[in-house]
């Protein structure tokens, strides 16, 4: 079965009543848009043709991994939402859209527009349910919430997430994209932060044959803070796209990412930060290590609307090419309509610094080890942006493990 | 196909048959009727007495153009252009031109005065009727005819060919045929294709092997400088080990009856050759509302074909209502170098979308991009650039620096760079910043008695310094003055 056949079959399937309108609109939009081709500027460097033709025949399911952070609440966003969650503060809702508070339900489909983004439309059309995290004003969710998003061989899945943090609420989500099978995941997350709210959003994507398109749409209210970091360790085709809007004064948005890939991996990080309010800050650091025939893409846009004075925007993209056949394409973009701003970006691509390598070798470190050390340090610089010590340590360990595996393969 | 079997004689016959083909005059007339069709293309070619191959080439271009659509990706807005509502060969003289300077936009005259341009030259620049019969623009300074003659003799002595391209087609057909369209093919893009079909004139330069051109070549001094028309075609070839520096444009705002300008410039640098191409573009930007300004849709490209060849583009873009221009370098030869230094100023309602492309193909190729964009008033200024490293470009290097300066809260500054690397030994760096004029610097200058306009001009000139110092002496001083004038009225 192809993606389209699967779509035709599932578009009318049963879903909670709260999703009816979203699904109808999504289907109408997707019928109009179809999957984007590289002729669409936003998809210039990522071709979805292999997704369209992939064979969807369910295979074995991978076992679920152990928790990344001990004691985290776990939710599996598979065919059904499976919860194993401890006690949460009063008023916090973590579960299906069906019994979510009205304040959250009203926001579904209002942040991620399916009108112009086909993958959001496709997700909306086929979402079986939506996981809602609603945190009322002033409440802090005490433990990180781990979301497991499995990719299963031969299965296309369309998980949907809605996070609503009211004024001064806070929460941490760890999103784990698991499963090495040749499946397709099209996840759409909508995140609304009220005044002074604080959200941390960490994401890990394992290696394998999965194809994942992850879209997040963020709206940051006044004085709020949204920080996200994505560590991608592989995947046949991965695109993490984020649309963030600085909607209230003094808000902060940080979208960082690191990827370590080889083989035929294709990893695309596409971001768009719109500053629509005063004194906003946005930061992006994207670092990539590319081996084999892999291809890395970074497209980042910072748009400062007229009147969004005192905006401070910064983007940095650095890529390390370790192989002759790897390719990296970078497009950092600034679109600025206000004058009292400070916006800049930097982009570099190249290989390991020969001088640094020589320095280490001169101190008796074998070439291969020296190289590994430098690559690790290169990636670590991005992971350091994660401001949660436990998570940071776990991510560093994952990246180091991935690099060590590369070394072993190289030695073998 | 019928077109390829047509001979020049048949073309002439067609042109003569005025009733059948709707011409209002015979072959001796000075202009073709409005609109664009194959007959117009044949007419232009016949008028220039061109060989069959060139006519065929023009027709091929025209037919591809019919299949093409206007590019829409640039960040510029303008009303739909009616390509059938334009003259493609010398518009009729009567009626189109102002009778005297009294009919010229007073703003324009004020600028001429500031630049210190003599009255008669002002008339030529403003396109006043009858002014084209006067000696060339620089006559107030010295007798240009004699200067031109001396220059010609000197160039001939060195073996440098510098003439209108239509003359080159007659005198050096082999050279033209070999290189024309070899850098910008006739089917390249919408405007370049249109240019290929209907180009009327432009410059041709050939610098023979090992020759260092004894002087800066300039369209300003070119004998056939006037009426090169809106579809200019320039071809410069630097043979092995040669060097040439070419200046285009002038600092004075030029008025022109043709609103659409679609020029094509092709540069070819062979082994160890170097071409330095400098432009000061100050076409009429339109009135305060942006009306009547020039649309400048230019295709400029250089092929660094030879080993260790080098091409350097320097541009100061202050004029035109819309600028759409991406001077590029194809770095084919091993060790070849491309440079792009640009200052783009957009004030009032001007829109500039400009940048460069550096395509690294050969080993050890290097490129450097320095772009300074300044937006003021209600203008939009975009840098759009591409650096592409192909798999065989061992040790390619690129450094890109794009800075934007915003003056006022109603303008826009945009940066759209593409960086594509397919070779691990390549090292690419890109940096871009956007900011406004530093208040402290402004205060410092004001404190020392400069008016706010003088202070802005000084600071902006400092901001552009890195680019300005690459301009030849002749241009540098004037260009500095021009920057100040372009930004007048943007502060306060």
pLDDT tens-place string over residues A374-388: 999 999 989 999 999
pLDDT at B175: 94
pLDDT at A55: 84
pLDDT at B420 > cutoff 50: yes
pLDDT at B454: 87
User: Is B255 a member of any domain?
Assistant: yes
pLDDT at B124: 56
Contact B428 A348 (CB under 8 A): yes
3 state DSSP class of A27: helix
Contact B409 A339 (CB under 8 A): yes
Q: What is the mean pLDDT of residues B52-75?
A: 91
Range of the domain at B324: 133-437
ipTM value greater than 0.85: yes
**How big is the A-B interface in CB pairs under 8 Å?**
114
- Model-level pTM? 0.85
Residue A78 tokens read as 């598979």
Residue B22: pLDDT band with limits 50, 70, 90: very low
Using CB atoms, pick whichever of A325, A330, A344 lies closest to residue B433: A344
| Residue B395 DSSP code | T
Residue B264 forms beta bridges with which residues?
Answer: B233, B299
Cα atoms found within 13 Å of the Cα of residue A341, Cβ hemisphere only: 39
Instruction: Residue B408: list chain A partners with CB under 8 A.
Output: 339
User: Is B454 a member of any domain?
Assistant: no
A241: Cβ–Cβ under 8 A, 6 or more apart, which residues? A213, A214, A215, A216, A268, A269, A270, A271, A272
Whether residue B413 contacts residue A326, with contact meaning beta carbons closer than 8 Å, is answered with: no
User: Is B148 a member of any domain?
Assistant: yes
> Dihedral, CA atoms, A19, A23, A25, A27, nearest 10 degrees?
180
**Looking at A239-243, B104-108, B410-414, which range is the least confident one?**
B104-108
pLDDT at A327: 95
Segments making up each domain of chain A, as ranges: 3-352
Q: Would you call A37 an interface residue with chain B, using a CB distance cutoff of 8 Å?
A: no
Mode of pairing for the β-strands spanning A327-336 and B161-164:
unpaired
Contact B408 A324 (CB under 8 A): no
Residues 128 through 167 of chain A touching chain B, CB cutoff 8 Å: none
Mode of pairing for the β-strands spanning A93-96 and A225-232:
unpaired
Phi, psi angles (nearest 5°) of residue B10: -65, -40
User: Is B81 a member of any domain?
Assistant: no
pLDDT at B247 > cutoff 90: no
Domain count, chain B: 1
pLDDT tens-place string over residues B128-187: 555 444 333 332 223 334 445 567 778 888 999 988 888 899 999 999 999 999 999 999
Instruction: Residue A340: list chain B partners with CB under 8 A.
Output: 409, 436
pLDDT at B216: 82
Whether residue B262 contacts residue B298, with contact meaning beta carbons closer than 8 Å, is answered with: yes
Task: Quote the CA–CA distance of A185 and A236 in Å, as a whole number.
Answer: 12
Residues 228 through 287 of chain A touching chain B, CB cutoff 8 Å: none
pLDDT at B345 > cutoff 70: yes
Interface test with B, best of A313, A330, A334, A355 (most B CBs within 10 A): A334
Task: Quote the CA–CA distance of B371 and B12 in Å, as a whole number.
Answer: 48
Whether residue A135 contacts residue A170, with contact meaning beta carbons closer than 8 Å, is answered with: yes
pLDDT at B100: 65
**Where is pLDDT greater, at B127 or B309?**
B309
Only one residue has tokens 């925007």, namely A313
Residue ranges in chain A modelled with pLDDT below 70: 59-62, 79, 410-412
Task: Quote the CA–CA distance of A25 and A126 in Å, as a whole number.
Answer: 11
Task: Quote the CA–CA distance of A379 and A88 in Å, as a whole number.
Answer: 35
Contact B430 A337 (CB under 8 A): no
Q: Would you call A374 an interface residue with chain B, using a CB distance cutoff of 8 Å?
A: no
Residue B31: pLDDT band with limits 50, 70, 90: low
3 state DSSP class of A77: strand
Q: Would you call A338 an interface residue with chain B, using a CB distance cutoff of 8 Å?
A: yes
Q: Would you call A346 an interface residue with chain B, using a CB distance cutoff of 8 Å?
A: yes
pLDDT at A364: 95
User: Is B158 a member of any domain?
Assistant: yes
User: Is B42 a member of any domain?
Assistant: no
Task: Quote the CA–CA distance of A294 and A234 in Å, as a whole number.
Answer: 9
Only one residue has tokens 């890990």, namely A204
A144 to A284, B154, B207: CA distances (angstroms): 23, 80, 71
pLDDT at B2: 38
Is residue A347 exposed (0-12), middle (13-18) or buried (19+ Cβ within 10 Å)?
buried
Instruction: Residue A350: list chain B partners with CB under 8 A.
Output: 424, 426-428
3 state DSSP class of A130: coil
Task: Quote the CA–CA distance of A208 and A182 in Å, as a whole number.
Answer: 8
Residue B224: pLDDT band with limits 50, 70, 90: very low
Whether residue B489 contacts residue B458, with contact meaning beta carbons closer than 8 Å, is answered with: no
| Residue B449 DSSP code | T
- Residue A208 φ/ψ region, left for φ over 0, alpha for ψ in the -120 to 50 degree band, beta for the rest: left
3 state DSSP class of B329: strand
pLDDT at B91 > cutoff 80: no
């Amino acid at each position: 079965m192809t993606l389209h056949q699967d779509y035709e079959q599932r578009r009318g399937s049963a879903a909670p009543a709260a999703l009816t309108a979203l699904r109808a609109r999504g289907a109408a939009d997707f019928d109009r848009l179809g999957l984007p081709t590289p002729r669409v500027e936003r998809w210039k460097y990522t071709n979805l043709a292999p997704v369209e033709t992939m064979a969807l025949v369910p295979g074995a399911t991978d076992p679920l991994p152990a928790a990344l952070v001990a004691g985290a609440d776990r939710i599996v966003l598979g065919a059904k939402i499976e919860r194993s969650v401890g006690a949460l503060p009063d008023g916090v809702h973590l579960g299906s859209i069906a019994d979510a508070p009205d304040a959250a339900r009203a926001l579904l489909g209002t942040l991620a527009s399916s009108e112009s983004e086909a993958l959001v439309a496709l997700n909306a059309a086929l979402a079986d349910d939506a996981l809602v995290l609603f945190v009322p004003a002033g409440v802090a969710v005490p433990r990180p919430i781990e979301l497991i998003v499995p990719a299963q061989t031969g299965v296309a899945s369309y998980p949907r997430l809605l996070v609503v943090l009211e004024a001064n609420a806070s929460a941490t989500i760890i999103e784990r994209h698991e499963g090495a099978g040749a499946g397709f995941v099209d996840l759409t997350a909508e995140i609304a932060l009220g005044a002074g709210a604080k959200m941390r959003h960490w994401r890990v994507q394992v290696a394998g044959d999965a194809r994942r398109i992850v879209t997040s749409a963020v709206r940051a209210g006044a004085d709020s803070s949204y920080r996200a970091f994505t560590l991608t360790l592989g995947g046949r085709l991965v695109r993490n796209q984020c649309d963030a809007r600085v909607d209230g004064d003094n808000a902060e948005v940080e979208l960082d990412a690191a990827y370590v890939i080889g083989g035929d991996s294709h990893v695309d990080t596409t971001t768009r930060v719109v500053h629509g309010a005063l004194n906003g800050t946005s930061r992006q650091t994207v670092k990539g290590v590319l081996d084999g025939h892999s291809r890395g893409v970074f497209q980042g846009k910072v748009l400062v609307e007229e009147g969004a004075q005192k905006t401070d925007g910064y983007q940095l993209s650095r890529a390390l090419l370790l192989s002759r056949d790897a390719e990296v394409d970078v497009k950092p973009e600034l679109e600025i309509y206000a004058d009292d701003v400070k916006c800049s970006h930097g982009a570099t691509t190249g290989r390991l610094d020969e001088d640094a390598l020589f320095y280490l070798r001169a101190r008796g470190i074998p070439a291969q080890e020296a190289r590994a050390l430098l690559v690790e340090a290169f990636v670590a610089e991005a992971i350091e942006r994660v401001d949660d010590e436990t998570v940071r340590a776990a991510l560093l360990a994952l990246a180091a493990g991935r690099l060590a595996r590369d070394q072993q393969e190289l030695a073998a | 196909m019928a077109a390829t079997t047509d001979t020049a004689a048949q073309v002439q016959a067609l042109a003569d048959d005025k009733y059948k083909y709707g011409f209002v005059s015979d072959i001796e007339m000075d202009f073709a009727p409005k609109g664009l069709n194959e007959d117009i293309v044949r007419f232009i070619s016949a008028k220039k007495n061109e060989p069959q191959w060139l006519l065929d080439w023009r027709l091929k271009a025209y037919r591809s153009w019919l299949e093409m659509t206007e590019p829409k990706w640039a960040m510029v807005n303008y009303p739909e252009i009616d390509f059938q509502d334009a003259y493609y060969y010398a518009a009729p003289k009567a009626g189109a031109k102002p009778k005297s300077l009294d009919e010229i936009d007073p703003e324009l005259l004020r600028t001429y005065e500031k630049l210190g341009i003599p009255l008669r030259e002002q008339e030529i620049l403003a396109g006043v009727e009858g002014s084209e019969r006067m000696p060339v623009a620089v006559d107030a300074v010295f007798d240009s005819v004699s200067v031109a003659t001396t220059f010609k003799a000197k160039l001939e002595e060195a073996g440098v060919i510098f003439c209108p391209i239509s003359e080159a087609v007659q005198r050096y057909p082999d050279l033209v045929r070999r290189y024309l369209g070899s850098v910008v093919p006739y089917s390249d893009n919408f405007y370049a294709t249109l240019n290929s079909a209907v180009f009327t004139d432009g410059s041709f330069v050939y610098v023979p092997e090992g020759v260092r051109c004894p002087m800066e070549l300039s369209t300003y001094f070119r004998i056939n400088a006037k009426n090169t028309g809106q579809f200019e075609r320039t071809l410069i070839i630097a043979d092995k080990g040669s060097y040439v520096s070419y200046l285009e444009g002038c600092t004075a705002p030029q008025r022109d009856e043709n609103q659409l300008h679609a020029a094509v410039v092709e540069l070819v640098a062979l082994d160890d050759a170097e071409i330095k191409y400098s432009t000061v573009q100050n076409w009429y930007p339109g009135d305060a509302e942006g009306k009547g300004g020039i649309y400048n849709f230019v295709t400029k490209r250089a092929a660094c074909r030879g080993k260790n060849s080098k091409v350097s583009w320097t541009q100061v873009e202050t004029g035109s209502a819309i600028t759409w221009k991406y001077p590029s370098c194809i770095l084919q030869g091993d060790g070849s170098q491309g440079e792009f230094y640009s200052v783009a100023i957009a004030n009032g309602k001007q829109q500039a979308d400009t940048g460069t492309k550096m395509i690294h193909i050969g080993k050890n190729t290097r490129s450097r991009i320095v772009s300074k964009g300044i937006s003021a008033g209600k203008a939009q200024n975009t840098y759009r650039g591409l650096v592409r490293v192909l798999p065989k470009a061992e040790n390619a290097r690129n450094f890109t620096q794009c800075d934007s300066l915003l003056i006022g809260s109603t303008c826009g500054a945009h940066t759209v760079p593409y960086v594509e690397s397919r070779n691990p030994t390549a090292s690419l760096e890109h940096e871009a910043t956007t900011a406004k004029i530093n208040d402290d610097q402004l205060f410092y200058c004001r404190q020392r008695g400069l008016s706010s306009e003088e202070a802005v001009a000084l600071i902006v000139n400092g901001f552009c310094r890195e680019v300005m110092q690459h301009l030849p002496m002749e241009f540098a001083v004037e260009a500095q003055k021009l920057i100040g004038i372009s930004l007048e009225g943007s502060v306060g």
